Amino acid sequence: MTMLLSYCSLRFSRLSIAGTIAFWCIVLLVYIHPIRLFTLEDTKSSGVLSGPRIPERIWYKIGPKGHDLQSREWMDDCLRKNPTHRAEILTDQLGERFVNESFASRPDIIETYFSLPLPIHKADFLRYLILYAEGGIWSDLDVSCEDVPISNWLPAEFQERANVVVGLEFDVGWGDHIFRQFATWTIMAAPKSPHMLRVIDDIVDAMREVTQSGQLPTNMIDTVVDFTGPRRFTRGILESLGSAVNGTISPDSFTHLLEPKMIEDVVIMPGYSFSASVNKYDPSDVVGPPLVKHHYAGSWKNANGGEA
């Protein structure tokens, strides 16, 4: 009996030592290994960790020629000024793969993307698809960041509520009858925004209509702004906001804007934020700092509607 107790004690002791070692190995793995045993979604739901709704990712799309020195300099400068943001750079091939994989459940979206006649149409559509699926910030290659960090672009009271952030392209100094469209060279969005989805569905419907009618314009380059560009984008956002409030959102509600304005969960930035060079303010106007500068390279404005 004594021998049996000694054997059991020894076996238990060995098991205890082994268990202790295993326990501390797990602890070390969890707290030292860079891949933790929980996800960001877990921490958000538990309240342990919170952050902006709009991911800290800046999306760029390059054409067959890639970056030129100037666009690369603008991108690098923006990332230096915003070290917590990371760049996501898509080529034509990566863009096609993204669409196929991210929208496998929506064959109509995939068909629309590959049916669009010009590279600039695809580039417009791709930015909306990316911002809907992944969220973040879209930036055209001819956009540079000014000195205000992206984390300070929005008033604090808007940051946790903002679903989409857009900036007026034409507003002050353009008269009362100008179409006040939103710039599409810089757009911010949280993932799965219904407003971005409305823009996407509008383009899908428009492409289906022109395809079925057989009335695709012979010179599609003249239709870019309306078909996939800023006017289409602006109309889609306003229609979606109208649906959200069971009414109509009129551009009159954000004319001559001098500070950011939130309508439902969409923040509209004044003209000086994303388009300072084309909005002319009176000296008496108190305006904030420009956030980005659009250099109007217009590389798509050629017969092929693609990178020059």
Report pLDDT digits (tens) over 14-68.
444 444 444 444 333 333 333 222 222 332 333 333 345 899 999 999 998 888 9
Among the residue ranges 5-14, 150-159, 167-176, 281-290, the one predicted with the least confidence is: 5-14
Q: State the maximum Cα–Cα separation within the chain, in Å, rounded to a whole number.
A: 102
Q: Residue 47 falls within a domain, yes or no?
A: no
Asked if 131 and 272 sit in the same domain, the reply is: yes
Compare 11 and 121 and report the one with higher pLDDT: 121
Q: Residue 124 falls within a domain, yes or no?
A: yes
Q: How confident is the model at residue 217 (pLDDT cuts 50, 70, 90)?
A: low
Domain count, the chain: 2
Q: How confident is the model at residue 286 (pLDDT cuts 50, 70, 90)?
A: confident
The pLDDT score that the predictor gives to residue 12 is: 40
Asked if 266 and 124 sit in the same domain, the reply is: yes
What burial class does residue 176 get, using C-beta atoms within 10 Å of its C-beta: 0-12 exposed, 13-18 middle, 19+ buried?
Answer: exposed
Asked if 63 and 154 sit in the same domain, the reply is: yes
Indicate the pTM of the whole model: 0.81
**Residue 59 pairs with which residues in a beta bridge?**
88, 138
| CATH code of 140's domain | 3.90.550
Q: Is the pLDDT of residue 193 over 70?
A: yes
Asked if 162 and 31 sit in the same domain, the reply is: no
Q: Residue 274 falls within a domain, yes or no?
A: yes
Mean pLDDT of the chain: 84
- Torsion of Cα atoms, 44 then 50 then 54 then 55, to 10°: -80
Asked if 20 and 123 sit in the same domain, the reply is: no
Asked if 190 and 92 sit in the same domain, the reply is: yes
Asked if 196 and 117 sit in the same domain, the reply is: yes
Asked if 20 and 138 sit in the same domain, the reply is: no
- The pair of three-digit structure tokens given for residue 99, joined into one six-digit string: 């669409």
Q: Could you list the residue range(s) of the whole structural domain that residue 267 is in? A: 57-294
The pLDDT score that the predictor gives to residue 52 is: 56
Among the residue ranges 56-60, 95-99, 139-143, 173-177, the one predicted with the least confidence is: 173-177
Compare 72 and 217 and report the one with higher pLDDT: 72
Q: Residue 304 falls within a domain, yes or no?
A: no
* Ordered alpha helix ranges (H), the chain: 2-32, 40-46, 69-81, 92-102, 107-115, 119-133, 156-159, 194-213, 224-227, 230-245, 271-274
- The pair of three-digit structure tokens given for residue 47, joined into one six-digit string: 């309240």
Asked if 80 and 202 sit in the same domain, the reply is: yes
Asked if 28 and 161 sit in the same domain, the reply is: no
Q: Residue 50 falls within a domain, yes or no?
A: no
Asked if 238 and 95 sit in the same domain, the reply is: yes
Q: Residue 289 falls within a domain, yes or no?
A: yes
Asked if 18 and 102 sit in the same domain, the reply is: no
